[in-house]
Amino acid sequence: MLIDTYGRKINYLRISVTDRCDLRCTYCIPKGFSEFEKPKHWLSFDEIERVVRQFAAMGTTHFRLTGGEPLLRKNIVELVHRLKRIDGVNDLSLSTNATQLAHYADDLYKAGLDRLNVSLDSLSQKGIQQISGYDAKQKILEGLEAAKEAGFKNIKINMVLLEGVNEDQIDNMVVFCMKNHFILRLIELMPMGETARKHHYINLQSVIKNIQYKYNLQPSKKTHGAGPARYWESLDGTFYLGYITPLSQHFCQTCNRIRMAVDGTLYMCLGDEHHFALAPILKSCASDEQLRQTIREAINLKPEQHDFIEKPLKIVRNMAKTGG
């Protein structure tokens, strides 16, 4: 088992397969940004598979494919198929904006993908265009419908709340998720890079209380994956509301995850600039044991907690660079 210097078990690896995206969400990718990683620096599927095998051998059980938009990575279904057949990979999920999901949902399900998270910050055409830069509503809804038809259950809808932008969409999103049996997760915006800091985050504590009261929700013991969300549920158990509060009520003491960028860079914390480059050892003649030892050394760089509150200007990289 991978255990960091603070005694936390690391059992969750999030893997970015591309930093490219077909949307330009205002808190994720700066307007006019073009400094994407060159494809020649991306880890190959063989390299990603090797990394996952070593993490799985050390007790990591949960893996998530992210981006950018992971469905833009060519042959992504093949990667899902390969990773799901690794011993120890108990849970493989994927985060997507759903614009390409209608084309891939059925194949992803057949390849063994366990779960889907869909980023959707508004249900209005105007809201989606304001946040993402594109009128993508129809594609997103078609993607969600295709995922349901393919057989995916408990699809999570991730809604990042932005002050003055989408607070008025919360009730609509609750009703939408109730109707479609989606799990809604409200997320506080993290100040990742200059583009995210242009927005003001919304403290979720009062928001959750209002929704809990309005829809008669009760605390839930279910976790729905390996992430940090805390959940409420309806009295009949048919609707779940999660909330992720990295600023108003951080969960650093139980953080169980690290991220790997598309070029193989390991980031131990979203709120810290410490990182570790795996690519050099992957492209050398290092043994699997040497690779595992390198991963252990990287884990030791994981800080006790983030500095988003004390040092909001600390993180200069954007979310797409890090991996979702």
**With the CA atoms of 213, 219, 223 and 229 taken in that order, what torsion angle do they form, in degrees rounded to the nearest 10?**
50
Feature table: binding site: 14, 21, 25, 27-28, 64, 68, 95, 119, 156, 190, 252, 255, 257-259, 269
Pseudo-torsion of CA 208, 209, 211, 217, nearest 10°? 100
Annotated binding-site ranges for [4Fe-4S] cluster? 21, 25, 28, 252, 255, 269
| Rounded Cα–Cα distance for residues 45 and 221 (Å) | 36
Q: Give ∠ CA 169-237-231 in degrees, rounded to 5.
A: 60
Domains of the chain: 12-286+295-322 (3.20.20.70)
CA angle, 214 then 249 then 247, to 5°: 105
Structure tokens at 174: 């609750």
Burial 124-144 (b: 16+ CB within 10 A, else e): eeebbeebbeeebbebbbbbb
Binding-site residues for GTP sit at 14, 64, 95, 156, 257-259
Binding residues for S-adenosyl-L-methionine: 27, 68, 119, 190
Question: Is beta strand 115-119 parallel, antiparallel or unpaired with respect to 12-16?
Answer: unpaired
Per-residue pLDDT tens, the chain, 324 aa: give them. Answer: 899 999 999 999 999 999 999 999 888 887 777 888 999 999 999 999 999 999 999 999 999 999 999 999 999 999 999 999 999 999 999 999 999 999 999 999 999 999 999 999 999 999 999 999 999 999 999 999 999 999 999 999 999 999 889 999 999 999 999 999 999 999 988 765 556 556 677 889 889 999 999 999 999 988 888 888 899 999 999 999 999 887 776 768 888 999 999 999 999 888 777 789 999 999 998 999 999 999 999 999 988 876 655 555 555 556 666 766
